[in-house]
């Protein structure tokens, strides 16, 4: 057993003791930490599989350099303690890097680990570690007036980590803190194949976001609870691609038992929902104008090719609520979006109308168009390409206008031809998809099996007076799977 004493070798601004690590250090035995430990910018901390790191109350691990905490499925690394302060990746800490879209190459990583019993399990600020196959459980933010939540994970201020194959179980953000498990604040992480179960918050039981454009793909939200809105997820000022996710059995008191898209936030949330399953979610409100049990929204990028059914508001059918005010006078494509190819659990038009609440039920609201409802559930998610910017309206001089692209391939490795246009003119780049080939008017890419790529492809600035009418479009042709990338020997007989 290694004991790190609370000797104040380096004082920080708030007088907490620090025990700095200023060179490459390996923890191969169980460790007890009774004061903050900092991995300095020039250092690397390696934690070997099977190690348990136990923290005293108020202690934590601060990463300014590099952390390599790679456990294994049979020997996970365990970070534990009572009301400890969690792992904190600071600005300037060593980012993870990847090859072939999503294969980890080097940099900070926490993998095959357990993080439990913290006031907040992990904080990532303006940095990009790889968080893979980590179980965050029973972390709890005590009562607070601060809305910055995320009892398991807080991602903030320009951070863009990958969070993949993680489980968030039984995390609690008390009082006014948003995001029972995860809170994203002005950052763009990638969430892929994560599981959110039994997390609790006042707002956003599983996940809550604020100014967020990264994708949420292939993840499951089940049994999460919100004391107000967003049992599974609450999306504030968010243009995220929400693809092939499942929201089942979540609960919110007022709106969005499954998914809540903030109805009165500016800049407005406008997520893109494709291939999602939203079913069996509940709310308690008795008035449909107070919220919907399945999905509650006032702005959307899209809702298509999804299963949205059997959600109940005070035991009444309530799959979708649309709360945009007519008085806001948005153009038709914003005010009257089409909900396309959705399986509502029925083909009866009157039954579908009864579970969708919009301007047809309340004259103060605009209306949605239920377009070509499906006659059966979706079979499997499809490859998707989504292009979006952060806001639906820019008002302040100097505002950045970024353009983001998400490419998701939930199936076998395949090739694709990507077409991107800006005002009907082929996009000239840069397009930083690994290995992409510019053919002049198109880009050829190879999409690894079950992969997601997210990147910024353009950014301009609003001058505060006028904005050019710029139309971006992106599409791709999904071609035959790549059966073999490498051939090690010729077939027999050739």
The model's pLDDT over 66-94, given as tens digits with 9 standing for 90+, comes to 999 999 999 999 999 999 999 999 999 99
Q: Of all helices (H) and strands (E), which one includes residue 355?
A: helix 349-355
Q: What pLDDT score was predicted for residue 407?
A: 96
* pLDDT at position 290 over 90: yes
* pLDDT at position 4 over 60: no
Q: Read off the pLDDT band of 389 (50, 70, 90).
A: confident
> Cα separation of 160 and 138, whole Å?
24
Backbone angles phi, psi at 74, to 5 degrees: -85, -20
Q: What pLDDT score was predicted for residue 480?
A: 64
Q: Name residues whose C-beta falls within 8 Å of residue 471's C-beta, 6 or more positions apart in sequence.
A: 421, 422, 423, 424
Which whole-number Å values give the CA distances from 159 to 12, 151, 163, 184, 431, in the listed order? 23, 17, 12, 9, 21
The predicted-structure confidence for 135-179, as pLDDT tens digits, reads as follows: 999 999 998 888 999 999 999 999 999 999 999 999 999 989 999
What tokens does 91 get?
A: 């600005």
> Cα separation of 419 and 441, whole Å?
7
Half-sphere exposure of 299 (CA within 13 A, CB side): 24
What tokens does 51 get?
A: 């190690």
Residue bearing the bigger pLDDT, 60 or 2: 60
Mean pLDDT computed over 194-216: 97
Q: What pLDDT score was predicted for residue 468?
A: 64
Residue with tokens 């029973």: 138
Strand partners, 414: 447, 481
SS3 state of residue 335 = helix
Q: Read off the pLDDT band of 265 (50, 70, 90).
A: confident
The predicted-structure confidence for 337-385, as pLDDT tens digits, reads as follows: 999 999 999 999 999 999 999 999 999 999 999 999 999 999 999 999 9
The average confidence (pLDDT) of the chain is 91
Q: Name residues whose C-beta falls within 8 Å of residue 113's C-beta, 6 or more positions apart in sequence.
A: 69, 71, 76, 77, 78, 79, 133, 134, 135
* pLDDT at position 6 over 70: no
Q: What pLDDT score was predicted for residue 481?
A: 65
Region for 271 from its dihedrals, namely left if φ exceeds 0, alpha if ψ lies in -120 to 50, beta otherwise: beta
Residue bearing the bigger pLDDT, 481 or 299: 299
Backbone angles phi, psi at 262, to 5 degrees: -50, 125
Q: Of all helices (H) and strands (E), which one includes residue 191?
A: strand 190-192
Backbone angles phi, psi at 259, to 5 degrees: -135, 125
Q: What pLDDT score was predicted for residue 487?
A: 31
Stated pTM of the model: 0.93
Residue with tokens 């002049």: 440
- Rounded (10°) CA dihedral 349, 355, 360, 362: 170
* pLDDT at position 469 over 80: no
Q: How many CB atoms lie within 10 A of CB 23?
A: 11
CB-based contact 79:87 (threshold 8 Å): yes
CB-based contact 78:116 (threshold 8 Å): yes
What tokens does 397 get?
A: 């001089």
SS3 state of residue 269 = coil
**Exposed e or buried b per residue across 195-206, where buried means at least 16 C-beta atoms within 10 angstroms of its C-beta:** bbbbbbbbbbbb
What tokens does 352 get?
A: 């579908």
């Amino acid at each position: 057993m290694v004991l790190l004493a609370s000797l104040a070798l380096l004082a920080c601004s708030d007088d907490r003791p620090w025990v700095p690590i200023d060179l490459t250090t390996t923890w191969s035995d169980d460790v007890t930490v009774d004061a903050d430990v900092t991995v300095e910018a020039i250092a690397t901390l390696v934690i070997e599989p099977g190690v348990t790191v136990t923290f005293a109350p108020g202690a934590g691990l601060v990463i300014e350099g590099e952390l390599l905490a790679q456990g294994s499925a049979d020997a996970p690394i365990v970070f534990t303690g009572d009301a400890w302060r969690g792992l904190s990746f600071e600005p300037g800490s060593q980012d993870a890097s990847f090859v072939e879209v999503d294969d980890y190459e080097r940099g900070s990583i926490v993998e095959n680990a357990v993080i439990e019993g913290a006031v907040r399990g992990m904080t990532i600020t303006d940095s990009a570690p790889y968080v893979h196959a980590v179980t965050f459980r029973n972390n709890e933010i005590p009562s607070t007036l601060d809305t910055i939540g995320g009892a398991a994970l807080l991602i903030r201020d320009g951070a863009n980590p990958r969070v993949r194959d993680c489980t968030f179980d039984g995390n609690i953000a008390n009082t006014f803190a948003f995001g029972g498990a995860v809170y994203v604040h002005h950052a763009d992480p990638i969430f892929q194949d994560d599981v959110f179960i039994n997390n609790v918050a006042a707002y956003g039981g599983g996940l809550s976001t604020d100014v967020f454009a990264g994708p949420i793909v292939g993840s499951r939200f089940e049994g999460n609870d919100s004391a107000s809105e967003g049992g599974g997820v609450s999306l504030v000022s968010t243009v995220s691609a929400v693809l092939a996710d499942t929201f089942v059995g979540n609960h919110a008191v007022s709106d969005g038992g499954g998914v809540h898209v903030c109805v009165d936030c500016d800049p407005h949330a406008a997520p893109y929902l494709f291939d999602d399953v939203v079913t069996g979610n509940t709310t308690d409100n008795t008035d449909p104008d107070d919220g919907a049990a399945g999905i509650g929204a006032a702005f959307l990028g899209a809702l298509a090719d999804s299963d949205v059914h059997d959600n109940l508001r005070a035991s009444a059918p309530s799959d979708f609520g649309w709360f945009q005010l007519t008085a806001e006078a948005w153009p038709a494509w914003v005010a009257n979006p089409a909900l396309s190819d959705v399986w509502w659990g029925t083909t009866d038009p009157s039954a579908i109308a009864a579970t969708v609440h919009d301007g047809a039920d309340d004259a103060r609201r605009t209306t949605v168009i239920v377009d070509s409802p499906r006659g059966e559930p979706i079979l499997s998610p499809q490859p998707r390409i989504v292009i979006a910017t952060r806001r639906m309206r820019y008002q302040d001089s100097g505002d950045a206008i970024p353009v983001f692209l998400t490419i998701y391939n939930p199936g076998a490795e395949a090739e694709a031809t990507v077409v991107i246009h800006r005002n009907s003119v082929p996009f000239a780049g840069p397009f930083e998809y690994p290995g992409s080939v510019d053919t002049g008017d198109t880009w050829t890419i190879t999409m690894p099996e079950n992969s997601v790529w997210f990147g910024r492809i353009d950014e301009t600035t609003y001058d505060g007076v006028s904005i050019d009418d710029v139309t971006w479009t992106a599409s791709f042709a999904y071609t035959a799977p790549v059966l073999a990338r490498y051939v090690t020997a010729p077939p027999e007989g050739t």
